[in-house]
Amino acid sequence: MSEHVMICEVGPRDGLQIAKSRLETGAKCRWIAAMAQAGLKEIEVGSFVPPKLIPQMADTEAVVRFAKEIPGLVVVALAPNLRGAQAAVAAGAHRVSIPVSVSEGHSRANLNRAPDAQVAVVGQIVAWMKDMGNPAEIEVACSTAFGCSIDGAVPEREVVRIAAALAETGVEQIGLADTVGYANPAQIRSVVRAVRREIGPALRGLHLHDTMGLGIANALAGLDAGIRDFDAALAGLGGCPFAPGPLAISSPRISCSCWRAWASPPASTLRR
């Protein structure tokens, strides 16, 4: 293959955030180091969120500071607001991932604000990053882009609208997330193509879950539609603590913003 698929491992964030207990910081760091040694080049190591809401992420600053010292590793951290983004940059994260729910119900449950209000928050983060000389990259994940366990079906036109509004803020890396794993291959192809028609190459990746057993099939549909960046979670860990209903388990190898080529490219081509 002349093109490579890129993978970002998100287990330390997406996987551990639904754990019933906290993984000790040292064990978390050893896990991240082992994955980097295995060849992963991008890892989402945690999220800068209030510890009282997700105590499993209380040590994210320490984990980021550890991970950034691993040679060649791109360290990604999730932040839901400007304060979190500032903390991520201060800790040394190379990329900040910002969630924006397309559905109203999930946005209220996950971020305590409407989707358009969260788009405005992204604009604030983009402006702050620019004022600071762009110390880190920004990527945005459009959560519940393929369905919501609170609101049900999510109109394709609404996904396109939110993606377009995000592109207008200046964000250059936008992904579509099947937060609860309700998507099917036909829907993946349709939504990806519709969003790409609207925002072009700013659409970078997919974040998929295997709730209905379609994770790999949906990944293949995304690949067919031109996506080359995906997330993955080791051992199928993953799920949103603010999305009620069936547990959204990540597919064994594939999820949203970066990937590895099916044709086994050299380890140096792995991005996340």
The catalytic site residues sit at 240
User: Which residue in 123, 201, 114 sits closest to 158, CA to CA?
Assistant: 114
> CA torsion 208→213→216→219, rounded to 10°?
-40
169, 123 Cβ separation under 8 angstroms: yes
Answer yes or no: are the C-beta atoms of 165 and 116 closer than 8 Å.
yes
Q: How far is CA 72 from CA 68, 77, 137, 255, 270, in A?
A: 9, 16, 16, 22, 11
Helix 60-67, helix 82-91: angle, nearest 10: 40
CB 83, CB 125: distance < 8 Å: no
Q: Give the whole-angstrom CA distance, residue 171 versus residue 205.
A: 14
232 in Cβ contact with 255 (< 8 Å):
yes
